[in-house]
Amino acid sequence: MSGTAALQRARACFLRACELDVAVRKPGNVSRASPGHGMTADLFIASAQAAAGPLFESGATVGERIEGAVDATWAVAGCNTNLGILLLCAPVARAVELRPDSATLPGGLLDTIEDVLQALDLSDSQAAFRAIARAHPGGLGSAPEQDVREPPSVGLRAAMALAADRDSIARLYRDGYGALSKVATSSLGAGFSLLPGAPDGMADAPTAAAVQRLYLALLGSVADSHIVRIHGEAVAHSVMTAAQGWLARASGPGGVDGDPDFAAWDDALKAHRINPGTTADLTVAALLLAGLDGSP
């Protein structure tokens, strides 16, 4: 497969992952069943469609993909809907183009992503810092080193490593995507395929249940960075503990989508303005990784 064809397939997987992100109820996050935080599912879909072009542009560096996709998102949404998603998916897009057959080899995609992360340089930092400053995610504070409002002096991986103790996305830049891929495989099952998707952007019951398990597994494994920034560690850990309980129930027959208490938890999180936004970003990236491994 050529680099262009691989990028086109990855772009389709990305768009389907973003569709599933809002097609499935994920408590605290925006979905078609439950808008929230002043946003709707359609806004997220429009953002994904706008961002997909620059994110999967042939020949673009990781930094260029991030900055171009953030600019495209703001042109249609006027707010930050997907910064974390773009930060996570840009190295994947670069890896797919550099080694189009990597997803067909055992460990190949993860190895190629690692190569991409190792090669990140100062220009990637400069572009990513501009994009992050423009998106201005909720709870963005100042950093003692390599603050995004100031010109960076190190490559993007090194800059992310400085934030890895307080941000899950930065931690993946530092450590690689292996842990995320492992959660995706265990939650979705080997051979999970994103394509073809439902023409209306919805999800059938088995797919919805799998995405919910993935989301709950991620939410239950680490305190959500976005919640920590806005509400503090205690609230983030209470949500993490609740997710662990729901994951146990989601693993049983029938899942949890029809449970009124599950919808009530979603409503309660939104009523208290608690948004596990980082976990939603991780969910999209995990779906993309799984989809690239499982798609023909």
Q: How does residue 296 score in pLDDT terms, banded at 50, 70 and 90?
A: very low
Q: What CATH number did the domain enclosing 47 receive?
A: 1.10.4200.10
Could you tell me how far CA 255 lies from the centroid of its own chain?
23
Cβ contact 95:61 at 8 Å: no
Structure tokens at 180: 């995320």
Q: How far apart are CA 292 and CA 165, in angstroms?
A: 29
| pLDDT value at 146 more than 60 | no
Cβ contact 117:176 at 8 Å: yes
**What domain range is 86 assigned to?**
3-294
Total of domains in the chain: 1
| pLDDT value at 150 more than 90 | no
pLDDT tens string 61-109: 999 999 999 999 999 999 889 999 999 999 999 999 998 887 666 568 9
Within 10 angstroms of residue 233's Cβ, the number of other Cβ atoms is: 10
Mean pLDDT, rounded, of the chain: 90
Q: How far apart are CA 95 and CA 154, in angstroms?
A: 21
Q: How does residue 130 score in pLDDT terms, banded at 50, 70 and 90?
A: very high
Q: Which residue's structure tokens are 């879909």?
A: 45
Residue 239 burial (C-beta neighbours within 10 Å; 0-12, 13-18, 19+)? buried
| pLDDT value at 145 more than 60 | no
| The pLDDT of residue 198 | 63
Q: Which amino acid is residue 188, in one-letter code? A: L
Question: What is the percent of the chain where pLDDT is above 70?
Answer: 89
pLDDT tens string 224-281: 999 999 999 999 999 999 999 999 999 876 679 889 999 999 999 999 999 999 999 9
Q: How far apart are CA 114 and CA 120, in angstroms?
A: 10
Output b/e per residue, 190-217; b: 16+ Cβ within 10 A: eebbbeebeeebebeeebbbbbbbbbbb
Please tell me whether residue 36 adopts helix, strand or coil conformation: strand
Q: Measure CA of the first residue to CA of the last residue in the chain; give whole Å.
A: 11
Q: How far apart are CA 145 and CA 132, in angstroms?
A: 15
| pLDDT value at 126 more than 50 | yes
| The pLDDT of residue 76 | 95
pTM: 0.93
